Structure 1
Amino acid sequence: MEHAKQLPDWADEQKLVSAVNFNQKRGTYLGVLYGFASGMMSTVIPKEARAVYYSKGGADMKDRITKTAKLGYDIGSLNAYQPDGEMVVTCVKTRLAHAAVRHLLPQSPHWVNSAPEDIPISQADIMVTWHSLPTTVMRNLTKWKVPIAADESEGFLHSWQLAAHLLGVEDQYIPSSWNEADSQAKQVLDPILAPTPEGIKLADILLSLGMNLDLTLLSRPILGALTRFMLGNDIANWLHIPTEPVWTPLLETAWGPYVIVREGGLDLGVPEEAYWLFDEFLRQFVLFYMSELRMPINISIPVINNPNHP
């Protein structure tokens, strides 16, 4: 356990400071990207979708997606990897939870009958999930033309390199640059994305997360349109997400100019209503998670599989 808590000798304090700057500037986007782009992508990673659906985490998807977003926020917090920070403990607890799932899932006849592998959550599986987080975030920020300083980009990557190391991934498998991360994702993430019955059900749950809240912009059609916009038509179609007649074209035409205006660029004539809608959507999304994001992350070691699928 003590060995698992040690930072590698390549940990760079200055890069971690840059990661904090990145998170502070991009926090509004990151909530949506971690919580939703990565969360929805996990439903089309077949091994992950099956592992989540049949393990205890599948019984409470809001809790799981909140923890994913919380992990992203904690990674960029001021003292994340300091002795008084959250990240080292979070990573070690996550490793213990993974170990428990490796022990428990092979006892589930549902998982055994649907999964091709004998033991879940291999090192390769962890790196696939890793790419669904920072690599996917950076791909979207690049696509949206969000300006990012070189040192902050490097710092953001470094914070996730440390997370991979602390999650037990061997250093040789951890990308050393964003180009390498993108290249690796093209080999290990993009080609394996596919629908599964379990993933389709998980996506359906995620799209309904805002249903009982007085947050009108977290409705199912809008979250569906956001999924289509961020992850593409193929994934949206796999997950049976219909094309939304208002929000899909609005995102496609106005999101790019909105980001430019928001980043202090020239006003490219974004309709005031569209600007307000996007701003309000991001605000509501952050508000939805923030009450729980302020709490210390609570990663418990599971002792059972999903009670709905024993």
Structure 2
Amino acid sequence: MIDGGHVPAINTAWAAWVDNNDPLPSGLPTEFAAYLRQVNRMPSWADPAKLARAADFNRRKDTYLFMLYGLGSGIMSTVIPREAKSVYWSAGGADMQDRAAKTFTFGYDLSQRGAFEPTGQFVVTANKTRVVHAAVRHLLPQSPHWKAVADETIPISAADILVTFHSLGTFVHRKLLDWKIPYPAADQEAFLHSWQVAVNLLGVPYEHIPRTWAEAEAQSARVLTPILTPSTEGIALAEELLGLTAQIDLGVTRGFLNEFVRYVLSDEVGDWLGLRRDYAAAALVRTVWPAFILFREGLSPVMPGTFYMFDQFIRALAMLFLNKGSSGTTTPITIPTGNRRG
């Protein structure tokens, strides 16, 4: 489809293909339409009750999830070398605000109530994302810039997607436990199940998907933790992500952003990325964030003086990536036709 010049017409045609029960748009190449009819469905082992509970969990804990996905997982991706190099040298790397918005669209649609139901949008979003991955998988090996730095011949494998899952789902699961946020076993199981379905829709074979959080933690320790390291591309991406975030009036300083990243990930990651220290902001984050959690969860009657600053910052951060800092709908997912040029 890329080589035949069909992609612009496909991007136009599938813009209106949004809900899971929407009919496939007309005008798609025959083989592509047949492929989408085959994959645009839920796996047989998906549990509707668990998925419904996961949606309710996402709604109840959205404050923490936005923060962890945005300033945790998003920045962690920049110290996963294969992911950072693939993102940087793909077309999306040239416009990181748009790229981040599309990634946030995936997470937003996954977290919505009814995301997997016929009137939801995540099954379509996942399949659009899978097609974009296929396009990048085809295009990046044609990039001399990517080939010069890559240690793989084909990017975005199923194994790479599992690594990304651990930087998202497994990482968030662990932080919720570390922060002692109320997180009953049924919520934990439902949250995992939503990610199991999500990564399967992205093409990861069922037999490689962890069945429990214990399995996920063990797999993460094997495939994610040992590979975390800085790269030229990752440092540039992190600076761009944090820079564009700091440009919007979120009510916090760049020093606060740097220190929250250090708090959520580690000082080691902060040092890798060259995040300048702001010790006053560090003290604020490390003392007020735990108090913010206690008050928000009804575990303490004492409201921190900076409660509203934290609350508004998180919501502004979410809207920044969802809507590029303005009102409107989430960013459409489109198929690229080339790579970053340099």
TM score, norm. by length of structure 2: 0.85
CA 1:14–1:60 in structure 2 vs 1: closer, same or farther (change >3 Å)? Answer: same
Q: Which residue of 2 aligns with 1:283?
A: 315
Which AA in structure 2 matches 1:120?
Answer: P
SS in 1 for 2:279: coil
Give the distance between the partners of 1:254 and 1:100, measured in 2 at CA. 44
CA distance in 2, matches of 1:42, 1:221: 20
Q: Is the 8 A contact 2:294 2:300 kept in 1?
A: yes
CA distance in 1, matches of 2:46, 2:141: 36
Cα distance, 1:27 vs structure 2: 1.1
- Per the alignment, residue 213 of structure 2 pairs with 178
Q: Where do residues 1-310 of structure 1 align in structure 2 (5 Å cutoff)?
A: 1=35, 2-217=37-252, 219-267=253-301, 272-291=304-323, 295-307=329-341, 309=342
Q: Give me the whole-angstrom Cα distance separating, in 1, the residues matched to 2:101 and 2:188.
A: 24
Percent identity (aligned): 46
Native 8 Å contact 1:5 1:89 kept in 2: yes
Partner amino acid, structure 1, of 2:320: F
CA distance in 2 between counterparts of 1:170 and 1:287 reads 33
Q: CA deviation at 1:296?
A: 4.5
Q: Which has the higher contact order (CA 8 A, sep 6+)?
A: 1
User: SS of the counterpart of 1:273?
Assistant: coil
How many Å apart are 1:278 and its aligned residue? Answer: 2.1
68-77 vs 134-143, which moves further: 68-77
- Return the alpha-carbon distance in structure 1 between the equivalents of residues 209 and 155 of structure 2: 20
Q: CA deviation at 1:255?
A: 1.4
Q: Which amino acid aligns with 1:22?
A: F
Contact in 1 for aligned 2:86/2:140 (Cα 8 Å): yes
- Give the Cα–Cα distance (whole angstroms) in 2 for the partners of residues 79 and 279 of structure 1: 25
Pair 259,126 (structure 1): closer, same or farther in 2 beyond 3 Å:
same
Shift of 1:213: 2.4
Shift of 1:23: 0.9
Aligned residues: 305
TM-score (norm 1): 0.93
Query: In 1, are the aligned partners of 2:104 and 2:322 still within 8 Å (CA)?
Result: no
Separation in structure 2 between the aligned mates of residue 275 and residue 83 of structure 1, nearest angstrom: 38
Q: Do 2:101 and 2:331's aligned partners in 1 also have CA atoms closer than 8 Å?
A: no
Counterparts of 2:138 and 2:270 in 1: how far apart (Å)?
33
- Distance apart, 1:157 and its partner CA: 1.0
Q: Which runs of 5+ in 1 are unaligned?
A: none
Pair 287,76 (structure 1): closer, same or farther in 2 beyond 3 Å:
closer
How far apart, CA to CA, are the structure 1 residues paired with 2:164 and 2:86? 12
| Contact 2:323–2:330 (CA under 8 A) maintained in structure 1 | no
Residue segments in structure 2 that go unaligned for 5+ positions in a row = 1-34
> Quick one: distance in 2 between partners of 1:53 and 1:21?
35
Residues 1:246 and 1:192: Cα distance change in structure 2 (over 3 Å): same
Q: CA, structure 1 residues 6+287, in 2 after alignment: closer, same or farther (shift >3 Å)?
A: closer
What SS does structure 1 have at the residue aligned with 2:65?
helix
Measure how far apart 1:22 and its partner are: 0.4
The 1-side partners of 2:119 and 2:307 are apart by: 40
Worse-superposed segment, 135-144 or 225-234: 135-144
